[in-house]
Structures are given as C-alpha cells and as structure tokens.
Amino acid sequence: MWIKQKHGEKPLVIATSYHDQPAVFHNGFDMSGRFETQIAALTFNLTISNIEPSDTATYYCATTFLYDITFGEGTFLIVKGTSLTTHEVLQQPPIEYVQSGDSVTLECTVNTEGCSEDHSLFWLRHGSRESTAGIVYKNRSDQCEKSYETGSSTQSCIYKLPKTNLGLADAGTYYCAVAACGVILFGSGTKLDITGENLQVADSFFIHVLIFSNIILFLAIVLFVGVQCKKHSEGSPNYEMSLDAHSLLAGNPIKSY
C-alpha cells in the first residue's frame, strides 16, 4: 500500500495491491487522474503527475502480512510553487563559532505576506556523524517577535533558539523548518562550530596524562625486568661451573672437594 500524510493530519491510504493484482485506489486519489501505480515482481511504484502544492507531504509504502504491518522510511515531498513566494525563511549567520561552555542564540526570520495562518516552526540539528537531521525544539506561533514593514503587508516573525553550556554534542548544522499555509519551508542552516581554549586545554591535559602514564609504564617494565634478571642470576645452577671454567682458562688448576 501507499500512504500519504500531511503535516498535522491523519494518514490517508492512496492505493493498495494484493498479490501483484491491479491497484485499488482509496480516498478519491483516482478522481484527478494524477496518481498512477506500476506493479511488477516485488515492486509497487507510485507516480504523481502535474504536481500541485497540496501534494506536499510524506509518502510511505507499507506491506502487510497477517496482522503485521511494515513501513518504509518514507519520502518527504516538498512542492515549490507560486504559493511559496508569500513566504521567506532566513537564517543568519551561516557559521557561528563559539567556545565550549559558552551560550548562543540562533535566529530564524520568517517573512510572510497574504497568509493569516499561524506558523509552526521546528528546529532540526544535523551532526557531522549523523545520516539524518533530528528535531531538537519546536517554537509556538506566539513565541516570535513580530514586526511590519512600513507601507507593506509583509510581516516578519523572528524565532529564537537559545543554547547554553555548549559542548561537543551540540556541534552541527541547525535548520529551522516552517509549516504554514499548506507548505513547509527550510532555512539555509546555521553551522555551530564548537572551538576555543576550553577544548584546547582539555586536549592538552589528555596528551600530558597519556605521556606521563607511558613513562610510568616504561619505568615499571624496566624495573621488573631488572629484578627478574637478578633473581635468575643468583639462582642459576651453572654459577659455580662458570667460575671453574674461568679459572681453567686463566691457567689455574681445578680443585676437587
């Protein structure tokens, strides 16, 4: 089956197919003639023609076996159209350099025109070692600082994301995503680079500890080997024989006892 879910709405089944049989459409998705399916062995593809802004949503494919339902990861489709010209999302600066332990406030400015619907704004972070971005915070529509341009119907709304006591886990690129008027827009992102003296001190301290521990380990090994050699020499059964051989080589007779 194919399922469509718009932000904030319940999922809708688009089409289903049983054992590679021709697809059956649901919820009126066959009325416009824009949705088609292609069925083959182990494949069930969905094609949407004449894309419209209302097609912006997340599309999931799923399979059922008895009472078990398995979903795919989903495809998030964002349609760029004329309705997007009434919205603009700005993020500044592109890169923010801060020191470990410091605080910073990220900003996202949303300019709107001709749309009275309240916004839903999400902050997402994408770390350097992560494959996907995750939501870290959601702003309410009443948490923005509103302003109006003189002689214009454009409204600006500034959302803020405060971050305190920053550490390495906070590094990454932060994106603001605005959902309003049936569309979702993303900012260009602000990369948060954690640098500074605190990290350098921590690295320097770690290096010195590592060097010191290696020196202690080396001295311990040398001491252990020296003690073992001394014990081996004192307890060797060939100790007196070596002395007699030395006397013989020196020309001294070997004494018998």
Q: What is the pLDDT of residue 156?
A: 81
**How many percent of the chain have pLDDT more than 90?**
17
Please give the residue that has the higher pLDDT: either 79 or 231.
79
| Domain edge (last residue) among 22, 51, 77 | 77
CATH code of the domain in which 54 resides: 2.60.40.10
Does one domain contain both 86 and 53?
no
Average pLDDT over every residue of 92-119: 80
Mean pLDDT of 104-123: 77
Q: Which of 154, 176, 195 is the last residue of a domain?
A: 195
pLDDT at residue 85, as a whole number: 45
Residue 6 and residue 96 in one domain? no
What pLDDT does residue 24 have?
95
Residue 68 in this model has a pLDDT that exceeds 70: yes
142 lies in the same domain as 40: no
Is a pLDDT exceeding 80 seen at residue 179?
no
Residue 166 lies in a domain: yes
Compute the average pLDDT of residues 7-27.
89
Return the biggest CA–CA distance within the chain.
124
| pLDDT value of position 140 | 72
Q: What is the mean pLDDT of the chain?
A: 77
Structural domain includes residue 180: yes
Say if residue 157 is in the same domain as residue 88. yes
What is the pLDDT at residue 149?
Answer: 63
Residues 180 and 144 in one domain: yes
Our count of domains for the chain comes to 2
Residue 167 covered by a domain: yes
Q: Which two tokens stand for residue 125?
A: 């972070």
Residues 96, 139, single domain; the answer is: yes
Token pair for 4: 């469509």
Per the domain annotation, does 206 fall within a domain?
A: no
Of the listed ranges 83-92, 120-129, 215-224, the least confidently predicted one is 83-92
In angstroms, rounded to a whole number, what is the distance separating the alpha carbons of residues 104 and 99?
10
Query: What is the reported pLDDT for 151?
Result: 59
Domain membership flag for residue 218: no
Average pLDDT over residues 150-176: 83
Whether 94 and 69 map to the same domain: the answer is no
Higher pLDDT, 186 or 179: 186
The answer to whether residue 103 sits within a structural domain is yes
For residues 158-186, average pLDDT: 84
For residues 122 and 153, state if they share a domain: yes
- pLDDT of residue 201 exceeding 70: no
Comparison of pLDDT for 145 and 104, the residue scoring more: 104
* Range of the structural domain that residue 174 is part of: 82-195
Let me know whether 156 and 95 are in one domain: yes
Asked if residue 105 belongs to a domain, the reply is: yes
21 within 8 A of 12, measured Cβ to Cβ: no
Task: Show which of 59, 77, 95 is a domain's final residue.
Answer: 77
Are 101 and 16 part of one and the same domain?
Answer: no
Q: Are residues 163 and 187 in the same domain?
A: yes
Question: Per the domain annotation, does 255 fall within a domain?
Answer: no
51 & 135 share domain? no
Mean per-residue pLDDT, 213-231: 74
